[in-house]
Amino acid sequence: MTDITRIESNARMSRVVITGGIVYVGGLTAGDATQDIKGQTAQVLAKIEEYLGKAGVDKTRLISAQIWLKDIERDFAGMNEVWDKWLAEGTQPVRATGESKLARNDLLVEIIVTAKAA
Amino acid sequence: MTDITRIESNARMSRVVITGGIVYVGGLTAGDATQDIKGQTAQVLAKIEEYLGKAGVDKTRLISAQIWLKDIERDFAGMNEVWDKWLAEGTQPVRATGESKLARNDLLVEIIVTAKAA
Amino acid sequence: MTDITRIESNARMSRVVITGGIVYVGGLTAGDATQDIKGQTAQVLAKIEEYLGKAGVDKTRLISAQIWLKDIERDFAGMNEVWDKWLAEGTQPVRATGESKLARNDLLVEIIVTAKAA
């Protein structure tokens, strides 16, 4: 079948799946988890831009986001500060933010997005 | 581009995004967080109906729901009681329910839905 | 309306919703929750295959997965071991994994997937 495009697949997951006009990006975390919430959020958003680019779109095409924070009470404001500045005006996705421990203890934020394909 | 419709956008998020025949509603929480789980769930469901209405659909068009509870052991039954009565017969969405602390300590429930556009 | 197909609906949810070319499967947990993470993950994945089959597709059509673990530090490796072997080569979905207490205390894992309809 050629109606599903997968980008950067390994045995566990693909980083991006494109099908039916939607770009699905898997949950992304920071590469350098020694950074604080602002640094980790900025890293995750840069990765999202990179993967959206590989799918032929950009952040102005975002549909939805889920943001999972390891410590929402401590890190909600810091994450929002970076997030709000990153979005392009008039193209904000729907969003939900909750607390969830992540795959490693030093990871403070994971973000999952979808976007409309070009 | 005119293939993505966004409703009630601010710097952080849109409340609704419509694209590709799907209505995406962002995570919703209660406006009056002094209420208990039944009251907060009822408030959230009323908001969902309101936003679905702005997108030109109603709850009979629901596709999926994620329900995040601050205290799932205590509040699962109370949430379900309100939820089950709210749904229209024969039009139940798929659903997943987990525990997640939310953006403020007094928020007991957040619900994220998608629906099929008209 | 006949543009939304629902499978195994009760008052609370449908197990599967198919619309707009996408198969949405609700969050699934193990039937026998006395088993450990590997056993529960295997049970959940078998259920996913069963529901995908009822929707006329199989796991090679997976788009996205969210995996919620009750204890991510303890159970991440065990879940992955079963998950990685289960996927079909070259057809991995996008994925996000976080920690979430589930509807009953003995449930260790809940998985939510979408797939491309045939």
Measured between alpha carbons, how far is C38 from C79 in angstroms, rounded to an integer? 6
What burial class does residue A108 get, using C-beta atoms within 10 Å of its C-beta: 0-12 exposed, 13-18 middle, 19+ buried?
Answer: buried
Averaged pLDDT of chain B = 97
> For C49-62, how does the pLDDT look when each residue is reduced to its tens digit (9 = 90+)?
999 999 999 999 99
**Subunit contact A27:C91, Cβ cutoff 8 A:** no
Mean pLDDT of B49-67: 98
- Whether residue B40 is predicted with pLDDT greater than 60 in this model: the reply is yes
Contact A110 C93 (CB under 8 A): no
What are the pLDDT digits (tens) for A60-116?
999 999 999 999 999 999 999 999 999 999 999 999 999 999 999 999 999 999 999
Predicted confidence at residue B2, as pLDDT, reads 72
| Rounded-to-integer distance, Cα B56 and Cα A5, Å | 31
Name the fold adopted by A5-116: 60s Ribosomal Protein L30; Chain: A; (3.30.1330)
Task: Give ipTM to 2 decimals.
Answer: 0.97
What is residue C2's predicted lDDT score, i.e. its pLDDT?
72
Give the per-residue pLDDT at A2.
72
Q: Where are the domains of chain B?
A: 5-116
User: Chain A partners of C113 at a C-beta cutoff of 8 Å?
Assistant: none
Phi, psi of B23 (to 5 degrees): -100, 120
**CB–CB contacts below 8 A, B to C:** 81
Residues of A in contact with C84 (CB under 8 A): 11-12
Is residue B50 pLDDT above 70, yes or no? yes
Share of chain A above pLDDT 90, in %: 98
Among B80, B90, B94, the residue with its CB nearest the CB of C26 is: B94
Residues of C in Cβ contact (< 8 Å) with A51: none
- Span A45-56, average pLDDT: 98
Token pair recorded at residue A29? 């975390």
Q: CA-CA distance, A12 to C80, in Å (whole number)? A: 8
- Among A23, A24, A58, A64, the residue to mutate for chain B (most B Cβ within 10 A): A64
Where helices occur in chain A by DSSP H, the ranges are 37-54, 72-86
Mutation target to probe the B interface, by most B beta carbons within 10 A, among C1, C8, C14 is C14
Asked whether the predicted pLDDT for residue B1 surpasses 80, the reply is no
Beta strands, E only, chain B: 5-9, 14-19, 22-28, 62-69, 94-99, 109-116
For B77, nearest residue in chain C (alpha carbons)? C103
Measured between beta carbons, the chain C residues lying within 8 angstroms of A17 are: 63-64, 93-94
- Interchain pair B95, C4: CB under 8 A: no
Instruction: Closest CB to C11: pick one of B63, B65, B87.
Output: B87
For residue B73, give how far its alpha carbon lies from the nearest alpha carbon of chain A (Å). Answer: 16
Q: Using a CB-CB distance cutoff of 8 angstroms, which residues of chain C are in contact with residue A27?
A: 94-98
Low-confidence ranges of chain C (pLDDT < 50): none
In which residue are the tokens 């590997």 written?
C38
| B98 closest CB neighbour out of C6, C15, C110 | C110
Please choose, from the candidates A76, A96, A38, the residue with its C-alpha nearest in 3D space to the C-alpha of residue B104.
A76
pLDDT at B56: 98
Instruction: Tell me the mean pLDDT in the region B28-39.
Output: 98
Interface of B with C (CB under 8 A): 20-22, 60-61, 63-66, 68, 72-73, 76, 80, 83-84, 87, 89-100, 116
Q: Are strands C109-116 and C22-28 parallel, antiparallel or unpaired?
A: antiparallel
End-to-end CA distance of chain A: 21
Q: In terms of pTM, does the model score above 0.95? A: yes
What is the architecture, at CATH level 2, of domain C5-104+112-116? Answer: 2-Layer Sandwich (3.30)
CA distance C89 to C101: 31
Distance (Å, whole) CA C2 – CA A80: 41
C96/A20 CB distance under 8 A: no
User: What residues of A are in contact with residue C87 (Cβ under 8 Å)?
Assistant: 11-12
The pLDDT score that the predictor gives to residue A34 is 98
Q: Is the dihedral of CA A16, A20, A22, A27 positive or negative?
A: negative
